[in-house]
Amino acid sequence: MWFISTVHQKPNFYASDGSIIGHDDVKINWVTEGIWEEGGRIIKVGKTSPFINDAQQAISALSAAGVKGYPNKVAAKKFTKSLPHGSFKYLRVVQITLASMKREITK
């Protein structure tokens, strides 16, 4: 699922009418550490910038706050064409896996 946010460190989000919903009004559980089990071992991975570890919780929180999600980036881009000129970014909310976190760390 894709969402439109501002480019701030603590992003605000765009509602379907183009209004901005504040970061603190969206109750996403941002974390700086992910914990996974692999091969019987517990693996903790930390980052300095917060990330979404639970996609379902984040999507529910965004929906409850009135933030519209889009099924793909094409649909999200179509919506952004209706926004006033400014800076925004596309936020893809997907479940983080240990494999995807490892790929990000090795970049």
pLDDT tens column, 62-81: 999 999 999 999 999 999 99
Residue 61 in this model has a pLDDT that exceeds 90? yes
- Alpha helices (H) along 18-94: 55-64, 73-80
pTM score, whole prediction: 0.79
pLDDT digits (tens, 9 = 90+) for 25-45: 999 988 888 888 888 888 888
Contact between 27 and 34 (Cβ < 8 Å)? no
Opening angle at CA 100, ends 89 and 59, nearest 5: 50
Retrieve residue 22's tokens. Answer: 């504040």
Residue 56 in this model has a pLDDT that exceeds 70? yes
Question: What was the pLDDT predicted at 107?
Answer: 58
